[in-house]
Amino acid sequence: MPSSTVENYLKAIWFLQGRGEAAELVPIGQVAERISVTPGTATTMMNQLKKMGLVDYTPRRGVLLNEAGRKAALLVLRRHRLVETFLVEVMKLDWAEVHEDAEVLEHVISDRLLTRMDEMLNHPTHDPHGAPIPTADGEITADGTVVLADCPLGSYTLQRVREDQPSFLQWLAGLDLMPGTDLIITERNTEADTLTLELPGRPEPVQISLPAAQSLLVVMP
* Residue ranges that bind Zn ion, judged by CB under 5 A: 99, 102, 163
CB of 213 to Zn ion, least distance (A): 20
The closest of 57, 95, 68, 96 to 2, measured between CA atoms, is: 68
- Residue 194 CB, nearest approach to Zn ion (Å): 27
Give me the least distance between CB of 81 and Zn ion, in Å please.
Answer: 7
Nearer to Zn ion, 39 or 124 (CB): 124
Question: Residue 26 or 106: which CB sits closer to Zn ion?
Answer: 106
Smaller CB separation from Zn ion, 99 or 160 = 99
Residue number closest to Zn ion, CB atom: 99
Cβ pair 76, 134 in contact under 8 A = no
* Distance in angstroms (rounded) separating the CA atoms of residues 59 and 9: 16
- Enumerate residues 6+ apart whose C-beta is below 8 A from 37: none
* Cβ distance to Zn ion smaller for residue 46 or 76: 76
| Cβ 9 to Zn ion shortest distance, Å | 17
Closest-CA residue to 106 (of 68, 75, 70)? 75
Strands (E) across the chain are located at: 55-58, 62-65, 146-147, 154-161, 182-189, 194-198, 206-209, 216-219
Q: Which is nearer to Zn ion, 49 or 83 (CB)?
A: 83
